[in-house]
Structure 1
């Protein structure tokens, strides 16, 4: 069960302070106060593509632990140079102000023309269940029934230092959601199980209670600079390293990872990942996705094999630690978790639109002491340029 209320008070104070962080002034374009009518097309938000991503353990014949995740994302076109916040829709402008308040250095080099940025918005749901779907009582030695429904927005900034051979992608993401029955995890699972003829899980009455959810994530990926084309022509391989930090009552953790790829016409991106902050696989690249709309004609079909390794230090996970602000069922979380994935992706043109399909199998070490079966699930992602 959960710790005593007295032990949770400091944690509560942390989250309350986080919610009350002041919002700093926007990233100023100059000393004047121009209107939105003065904005250029490339300074405004226009979406150029989207991704649908599904993860489920039924792909590998299981139905427990992290049992399903689905997320839909939309990606804006690239915004080069200095960000003109007056040109952004109000929700995006407020998000940029918040990022600037908690991470003032994110746009510190915005005066140059080399960095580009884009915006990613997402909507998703995740669900977690114990192993025994038939039991209606509280299963104290297995993970809680839990659901999360969320929306999020992130900024991606891509830059290359001409003085080095490294290219970097920085991501800052804010996610809001709800944990508990309002996340509709039980209803979603029942619909899918009824469609495929599987038995319903009987213990959803014991799921975590309703609670607002917030997570702030910072992610950095870096790799060798491969030029400005949409792909690296011919047969090649590369490595992409990543660092991540998440803070919030969805998850608080730090990660270190690496992805290796080998194949034909590798895309000029930062890899393919399971659902996580910064996972959108189409970062800004102004020379690849220009505002002229002709970028798709330069995309060459390709295929890649890839593998990822990730180590994560976890300080809080709602699906294991339970509710933060209320007493609930919990298990004994392990602080260190390892994850590996292997997969294949293909990309090319379909009816004049860029398309990428990625399929992977994900393995994860035990996340809590009472766990007797390692976590594994399958993942499929389809990305389309509009």
Structure 2
């Protein structure tokens, strides 16, 4: 590999062959501009518009302690980074190696994803997500294997997703297509037990005693395709004034994390609605647009139209989703070896209600969204439906 450099503002970090992997990770994690090719090799240097940088992020916590329980899907945390919008067809050569490989994989699996990426209103961005999810049975005191309740299970993962927002000229509808690849680990290496013990010790709660029966270590993999539809409202950051809208969604997932198909709808009503694709629990493409961000990133104080600028707003929302499930690691157990499992139900329903507010803090867009999520029974041995709370804080850098 030839010598390359990363260009964070005024700092030059020169990467030797042995340092390349480390610097790649730092560039991705901290949103540093990607590689610029040395002028001596005859290639054109990547411009800022063609390169990748991150403009916002979201920290999300989901936990059933918010609703007074401690079982089933008991905790989920995620840190999400969202890139600036890229117009036209992405140029993989302008991205760090992991992003370039991911982009080429998407092109290989779905050749038509960027085939018509030429319309002026079409944009795409990249979402990078690091997260952990954990699942436990109902009785935290038992040390034996609880065969009629769900397994102890943890998942530690990283996901890369491209979101492509498209609008056909003359149409009153726009779409958001998502293609995500998630890699991770299931089992003790996911650190589910350690994470739960740390939180329970901090809160003074009793530890769960059966983690020795959790699923075994194995690699985790998932491909996801999502499509969302909504009324076209232009390219501004907000829909000014009081309004309401609906967002419909379709989704497919394949892998040993989950294999499923979903159909959903979200309704929103409020003041200065964000011109995005909604708020929902953790799933591919969930953080598709940083709040209070226009398709072209602008900040207060410039001469852009008022609808292109971040503005204070608040709205309530409700979500309904139906899911057909063919495989779920937290219920079916390990894929590559025998393990504890339960009788998964093939159909699951989800409903959520919440409130979201965005505003300006130190000339940066800020958004806080809280919701309560309800799930129908996911396996035959489950006695009741399950509920949990979700809170997400989003910032623009």
TM over 0.5: yes
Select 2:194's aligned residue among 167, 187, 193: 187
- Aligned to 1:188, the other structure's residue is in SS state helix
Q: Which residue of 1 aligns with 2:229?
A: 222
Q: 1:229 Cα deviation (Å)?
A: 1.5
Say whether 1:373 aligns with 2:380: no
Q: Aligned residues, how many?
A: 353
2:336 to 325, 328, 335: 325
Distance 1:113 1:236 in 2: 26
Check whether the contact 1:123–1:152 (CA below 8 A) recurs between aligned residues. Answer: yes
Q: Which residue of 1 aligns with 2:7?
A: none
Q: Give distance in 2, aligned partners of 1:287 and 1:264.
A: 17
280-289 vs 344-353, which moves further:
280-289
1:57 Cα deviation from its structure 2 partner:
0.1
Partner of 1:171 in structure 2? 178
Name the SS for the 2:113 alignment partner.
helix
- Structure 1 residues 245-324: aligned runs within 5 Å: 245-282=252-289, 287-290=294-297, 298-324=309-335
Say whether 1:206 aligns with 2:217.
no
What is the RMSD computed on CA atoms of the aligned residues?
1.9
Contact kept, 8 Å, 1:144 with 1:320, in 2: the verdict is: yes
**Matches for 1:55-70 after TM superposition, within 5 Å:** 55-70=62-77
- Is this contact kept in 1: 2:291–2:366, CA < 8 A? no
Rounded to whole Å, the distance in 2 between the matches of 1:96 and 1:374 is: 39
Distance in 2, Cα, partners of 1:234 & 1:219: 29
- Number of the residue aligned with 1:384: 395
Q: 1:115-164, CA deviations, whole angstroms, 9 ceiling, x for partnerless residues? A: 11111101000000000000000000000000000011000100111131
What is the CA deviation profile of residues 207-235 of structure 1, one whole-angstrom value per residue up to 9, with x for unaligned ones?
A: 00000000000011110111221111110
Distance 1:281 1:110, change over 3 A: closer
User: Residue 270 and residue 35 in structure 1: after superposition, are their counterparts in 2 closer, same or farther (change >3 A)?
Assistant: farther
Structure 2 residue 126 is matched with structure 1 residue 119: yes
SS in 1 for 2:281: coil
Cα displacement (A) at 1:110: 2.1
Give the match for residue 49 of structure 2: 42
SS at match of 1:71: strand
TM-score (norm 1): 0.88
Residues 299 and 354 in structure 1, CA contact (< 8 A), matched pair in contact too: yes
* TM-score, normalised relative to structure 2: 0.86
The corresponding residue for 1:16 is: none
| Consecutive unaligned residues in structure 2, runs of 5 or more | 1-40
Equivalents in 1 of 2:355, 2:130: separation in Å?
A: 25
C-alpha contact (below 8 Å) 2:348/2:378 kept by paired residues = yes
